[in-house]
Structure 1
Amino acid sequence: MTLRVVKSLCRHQCRGSMLIIVGLVLILVLLQFFHVVLLSRLEFQEAEAAQRQEEDLIKHDLKKYDRISKILLEKISHTHILDSSGSYTIIENLSVPNSDITDFHEYGEEINVAFATHTTSNNLHHLIQLSKIWDGPISVSVFTYDDDIVSTLHFVAFLKACHPSVHKVTTFHLIFPLRHPPRNARDILNMDIDCKMRPESLITKHRDNYDFDGLEYPHNLLRNVAKKYSKTSFVLICDIDILPSPNLHGDFISFINRWQAVKSEGFTEPIVFVIPAFETKNISEILSTKSDLIRSWGFGSVRPFYWDVCWKCQKFTDYEGWKHLPEIPLLDIGYYIDWQDPWEPYYIADKNVPDYDERFKQYGFNRISQVCEVHIAGYHFAVLNNAFLIHKGFKIPGKFHSAKEEELDRNRNLFRKFKDEMREKYPSTNRQC
C-alpha cells in the first residue's frame, strides 16, 4: 500500500470520526435541551400544584372562618345578661374549646386550673403563645364596644380557624357597655382570611387598654367573668401579656393533689399560691426553667416585675429568698409570707377566693383591693418554689397614658372607702390593710 493511499484512508477515517463526534455533541445538546424543557415543565406543574394547594387551603380557611363567624354572630344575637351594676352586657361562653378539657383527663385527676385573663381586640394575639405554653384551659374576657365588635369577632374567628392551640383550650367571653352596644357586627362576613397572616396585622387601631374614646376599661368585671366561667376548681388570674413558666399547669395539678393530702391531715386555713412575677427586656426570649431565668436575671435582661414602676408593690415576694431556695425537681411551697401593704402578688387560688371589686376601673388599685380582701378574709400566702411569670417587656415610668394620675387619685379615694367596708364585712378579724 502506497503512502498516498494510507493518507487518503486516514483522512476519510478522521472525517468520519469528526462526524460521529459532532453527531454525539448534537445529540447531547438536544438531550440537554429536552431535559431543560422537561424540568421547566415539571417546575411549572409543581408551581401550579403548589398554587392550587395554597388556594385550596385559603378556601378551607375561609370556609372554616365563615362557619365560626356565623356561630359567633348567632351567639351575640341571642345571649345577653347584665352585670350587677346594670351598666354592662355580658355574653358568657361566646366561643368554647373544640374539646372538653374541664377535667383534663390525661392527668387522671378531677382537679384543674384555668388561666383566667382579660383583654381587648388589640391584645388577642398574645393567646397564640400563651396557649402553647399553658396546656390547660384558658378563660378570656374581651371588652368591646360600638364598631370595635367587628375587629373583636374577626380576631376571635381568625384565632379559632387558624390556630388549633387556641381553639383547643380557650373560652371567650364578651363584655360591652350597655350604652355602646355592638354595631355592624355582620361586617365580619365580608372579610377575607388567610392563616398565613401575621396576627398583629388584624389590629385596626393601636392603643392602650385605658384609652377608649372616653370609655372606662372595667378590669375587675372582666376578671370576675373570666373566673366565674372558667369551669375549673382553681384559677390563675393574670394579664394576657404575661406568660407562665412552661409546664406550670401540669406541675400545679400534681402539686395540689399532694398538698390536699397534707391539708386533709390538719391544715384547714385557706391559702393562695403565689407565683413570683418578672419582666423581660427581650420579649422573644424563652425561659424554660428557673435556672434559665436566674441566668438572664444575672445578665440584666430579666428583672422582678414593676422594678421601676412600683417596686414596693412586689418586693414582699422576697425575690432573693426565692432565688436561693434549694433546687428540687417538684413544684412545692418554698415559704410563707405575711401580707404587707401594698403587696399585690399574682397567685393561683381556688374559685372561692373573693371576687374583684367591680367599681375599680381604669388605672390604680384594681388588683390591690382584691388582694387586700383576700388577706382580711384569712388567707395565707405561700410562694411556690419553681414557678414564675414573665411579663413581655420592661415596665417603664412615663410610658403610661396621660390620664393615669387622675385615675390613680380617684381610685385611691375609692380604696379608702373600700377598706372601711372591709372592716364592716369582716368584723371578727384583726387583719387590716
Structure 2
Amino acid sequence: IMHLPFRGRLKLLMASLTAIILLTWLYLLAGNLENGRSLLLPPCLVETPEAHVLERAVLESRVREVEEENRQIRLQLSQAQGTAGQAADVGNYGNAVWGASADTGPEDVENTAEERTNHTECPRSPMVQKCELIHVACVCAGHNASRDVVTLVKSILFHRRNPLHFHFITDAVANQILSLLFQSWMVPSVQVSFYDADELKSEVSWIPNKHYSGIYGLMKLTLTKALPSDLTKVIVLDTDITFATDIAELWAIFKKFTDKQVIGLVENQSDWYLGNLWKNHKPWPALGRGFNTGVILLYLERLRRIGWEQMWRLTAERELMSMLSTSLADQDIFNAFIKQNPVLVHQLPCFWNVQLSDHTRSEQCYTEVSDLKVIHWNSPKKLRVKNKHVEFFRNLYLTFLEYDGNLLRRELFGCPTQATSESIRLQGALEELDEDDQCYDFRRERITVHRVHLYFLQYEYTLTGDETDITLVAQLSMDRLQMLEAICKHWEGPISLALYMSDAEAQQFLRYAQASEVLKNRKNVGYHIVYKEGQFYPVNLVRNVALRNANTPYVFLADVDFLPMYGLYDYLRKSVVQLDMAHAKKALVVPAFETLRYRLSFPKSKAELLSMLDMGTLYTFRYHVWTKGHAPTNYAKWRTATTPYKVEWEADFEPYVVVRRDCPEYDQRFVGFGWNKVSHIMELDAQEYDLMILPNAFMVHMPHAPSFDISKFRSSPGYRYCLQTLKDEFHQDLSRKYGAAALKYLTAQRNI
C-alpha cells in the first residue's frame, strides 16, 4: 500500500473504512433478521427484557470492535496524510462521527455514551422486574408540605409503570390530611404507610439546626429506625421534587451499587460547601462540592449492617463541637459522614436532582429536555428562583400541580391489584345499578368516591375548652369565591368550608387566598377541597365534608351566599347557653332575608333590618318564588318577638340552623339542585329536634347568577322526574328508619 501515490492511498483507506462499516451493519442486520426483528427498530420495541439485554450486549461488543478498527484506520489515514494540511479536518470529522475528542479519557467516553443515550427517541427500559414494588419515603409535616407533596406524587404516578409503596413520616396534621387524601384517591397498586414523627423527635432534637425546615429537616437520618426492619432499600425524596421520568429508572440504579456502597446522591450544584460564598463562611465538611439530599437512594439493609445510627450520631457529635449547629439540616450530617467514608457513596448523575436555586450550577446538568429526570425546587423562593430556563421548569411543575388527579386512577396492566374492602364494596354497589334506569346517573353519583384534601391552607385554630363554641359550616364552588372575604368580616368565629373544585381551580383558589389580606389573616378557617368528578354537583357530600371537619361542640349550618348579621357569633353562643342545648335536642333557626341589590348597606340591627323590609330594600327569603321554604319561620311573629319561640315542622321547610356537631349528616343521594336541605331538616324533626326561632338573629342572602344545576332542573323534565323518584325513596327509607313517626312526612308530601 505504501508504494501507491498519496491520493491512491487516501482513496484506498477511505474505501476500506466505508467497506468495514457496511459489512458491520450487514452483519448486525442479518443477525437481527434471524431473530425476526430489524436493527432499525428502536430499542424500546424489543419484546422482552431478557432479549433486550442479550441483544444490547452483542451490539455493544460489535460496536466496540468497529470503533477499534476504525481508530486504527484513522491513525493510518492521519499518518498517510503527513503534512498535507488535511489531518485536522479529517480528525474533526472522525470526532463528529464517534463523539469523542482527541483528549477524551475513559471516563469522558463513558459519560459521552451516557449522554447519547439520553437523546434516544425511546427511553431505555428500566432494569427492574415487571410489577416490582418500588418504595418511596418522604418526611412531611404541616399544611403546606402536605399540599406540596401531592404534586410530587402526581408526577411519580403519571410516569410510573410499577406498583408503589409510599412511606410518610408525618406529624398529626399531615397524617390527617394525607391519610384521607390517599384513602379517597383510591389509586390502584399504591400502598401508603404512615410513621409518627413525634416518636422520632427525640432521635434528632438534640441537634441545633438553623434550617427553615426545623426538626423535620433532620428526620431522614432516622429512616433505618423509622421504616420497617424488613425493608431493604428505599428512595427518599424532599416534598419539593418533580419527576420528569419513570421512577423505576432511579430504582434501577440500586443495581449499580458496589458491594460497599449504601447511599446514592447527586453532587451539590451550589458553591455552599466550597466555603467561598462570603467572608468567614464556614460550612460543614464535605467531599468536594458535597452532595444534595433532596433525592437519596438508601440501601437500608446495608446501612443497618454497618451501624448507621451510631455512625451518623458520632459524626454529628464530633462536628457540632466546632460547628455548633447545622445550617442545612440532615444534608450537613450526611456530607460530614461521607467525607469520612467516601467509599460508601454512589454518585448519581446530576440530572437525577436538578437543583433550582439562585446560586447553583444546575444548567450544566442538561442540554436538552430529554436529559431531565428530577427537578428540585430547593429554595424557599421556589418558582421565583433565577434560572434562564425557569419558565420551562415552572410550566412542567404547573402541569402536575393542576393535573386532574382522577386520571391517575388507572390500573397497571399485567400487575395484580390487591382489592381493598372499600373497592370491593364500591364494585358491588356498581353492579347492583341498572344501566337502563332513567335515573342511573343520579344513582351512580351517590357511590362516586371523590378525592378530598383537608385543610388545604394553614389552619391554626385550637379549642379553648369553651363548651359553647360554634363553627360556621358551608360549601361552595369557584363561582362563589368572591363571598369568602365578606363572610370572614361578618363572622369572627371558626369556619369550616368545603370547596368543590377541579385541581386547576384549587390552584386558582390558593393564589386568590394568598393574595387576599382578609383571608391571609384568618387562621381559623378550614378549607377542604372536594375534587370534581361526575356530572352533578354532589352538594350534600360536600356539605358533609365541611360538617365532619368542624371541631367545635356546635355548628351553624349555613350557605356561603348568606352574610350573617354583625355579632351573630357571640349572640349564638349566648343562645346555646340560654336554651340549654347541651342537654336538649334543639335546632336554633336563624331567620333568612334577601336583597336583590348587589351593593347593600348591611343592616346593623334588627330595627334597621325591619325598616329596610318596610321600604322594600330587603325581603323575606324567597318569598316570591319558594314561600314554603321559610314560611314556618313565621316572620310576622318574629317582627315583635323578644324571646325564642318554637315552630312546628312543615313540608319543604329548609331553614338555616345551629345544632350540636353530632347531628345527622346530609343525605348524599340528593345532588345538584333540589331537596338537599329539606331532607336534612326532615331528619332533624324525625329525631325530635325542637325548631327554635331566634328573635334577634338574621342573615341576608346576596344576589348572584343562578347555578348550572338550577338551570338543569328548570329545563329538564328528566331531571325533575328523577328528583321526585329520589324524594319517594327517601320517604320510604325514613319510614323504615323511624317507623310510624315518619308517616306524617309522606302524608304531607301527598297533600302538596
Amino acid at match of 2:455: N
* Contact 2:590/2:698 (<8 A) preserved: yes
Indicate which of 316, 330, 349 corresponds to 2:659: 349
Whole-angstrom CA distance in 2 between matches of 1:403 and 1:343: 19
Indicate which of 149, 152, 169 corresponds to 2:506: 149
Whole-angstrom CA distance in 1 between matches of 2:710 and 2:609: 27
Whole-angstrom CA distance in 2 between matches of 1:166 and 1:414: 43
Indicate yes or no: 2:717 matched with 1:360: no
Whole-angstrom CA distance in 2 between matches of 1:89 and 1:397: 23
Indicate which of 171, 178, 184 corresponds to 1:82: 184
Once the 2 structures are TM-superposed, how far is the Cα of residue 166 of structure 1 from its aligned partner?
Answer: 5.6
Partner of 1:409: 721
What CA deviation, in whole Å up to 9, does each residue of 1:191-245 have, x standing for no partner?
xxxxxxxxxxxxxxxxxxxxxxx73111101111111101111111111110111
Partner of 1:72: 147
Partner of 1:321: 637
Q: How does 1:18-167 map to 2 (within 5 A)?
A: 72-74=147-149, 78=178, 79-82=181-184, 85-97=447-459, 99-103=460-464, 109-159=466-516, 162-164=517-519, 167=522
* Contact 1:280/1:391 (<8 A) preserved: yes
Amino acid at match of 1:89: R
Partner SS state of residue 593, structure 2: strand
Whole-angstrom CA distance in 1 between matches of 2:611 and 2:526: 35
Ranges in structure 2 where 5+ consecutive residues have no aligned partner: 1-141, 154-177, 186-445, 746-752
Partner of 1:300: 616
Once the 2 structures are TM-superposed, how far is the Cα of residue 402 of structure 1 from its aligned partner?
Answer: 4.2
* Contact 1:81/1:91 (<8 A) preserved: no
Partner SS state of residue 124, structure 1: helix
Amino acid at match of 1:334: P
Amino acid at match of 1:280: T
Partner SS state of residue 679, structure 2: helix
Amino acid at match of 1:74: V
Once the 2 structures are TM-superposed, how far is the Cα of residue 360 of structure 1 from its aligned partner?
Answer: 0.8
Partner SS state of residue 142, structure 1: strand
Whole-angstrom CA distance in 1 between matches of 2:539 and 2:706: 21
What RMSD, in angstroms, separates the aligned Cα atoms of the two structures?
2.9
User: Quick one: structure 1 residues 399 and 95, their matched pair in 2 at CA, closer, same or farther if it must change by over 3 Å?
Assistant: closer
Amino acid at match of 2:667: D
Indicate yes or no: 2:633 matched with 1:272: no
TM-score by length of 2: 0.39
Whole-angstrom CA distance in 1 between matches of 2:705 and 2:591: 16
**Higher-RCO chain (CA-CA 8 Å, sequence separation at least 6):** 1
Once the 2 structures are TM-superposed, how far is the Cα of residue 398 of structure 1 from its aligned partner?
Answer: 12
Q: How does 1:150-229 map to 2 (within 5 A)?
A: 150-159=507-516, 162-164=517-519, 167-177=522-532, 180=533, 215-229=535-549
User: Quick one: structure 1 residues 308 and 400, their matched pair in 2 at CA, closer, same or farther if it must change by over 3 Å?
Assistant: farther
Ranges in structure 1 where 5+ consecutive residues have no aligned partner: 1-66, 181-213, 327-332
Percent sequence identity over aligned pairs = 22
Whole-angstrom CA distance in 2 between matches of 1:155 and 1:396: 23
Amino acid at match of 2:578: R
User: Quick one: structure 1 residues 431 and 272, their matched pair in 2 at CA, closer, same or farther if it must change by over 3 Å?
Assistant: farther
Whole-angstrom CA distance in 2 between matches of 1:288 and 1:168: 26
* Contact 2:144/2:458 (<8 A) preserved: no
What CA deviation, in whole Å up to 9, does each residue of 1:400-426 have, x standing for no partner?
524435334322210110011001111
TM-score by length of 1: 0.66
Aligned length: 314
Partner of 1:204: none
Larger radius of gyration: 2
User: Quick one: structure 1 residues 146 and 127, their matched pair in 2 at CA, closer, same or farther if it must change by over 3 Å?
Assistant: closer
Whole-angstrom CA distance in 1 between matches of 2:723 and 2:468: 36
Partner SS state of residue 711, structure 2: coil
What CA deviation, in whole Å up to 9, does each residue of 1:130-152 have, x standing for no partner?
11110100110011125333323
Q: How does 1:208-287 map to 2 (within 5 A)?
A: 215-260=535-580, 269-283=584-598, 284-287=600-603
* Contact 2:513/2:520 (<8 A) preserved: no
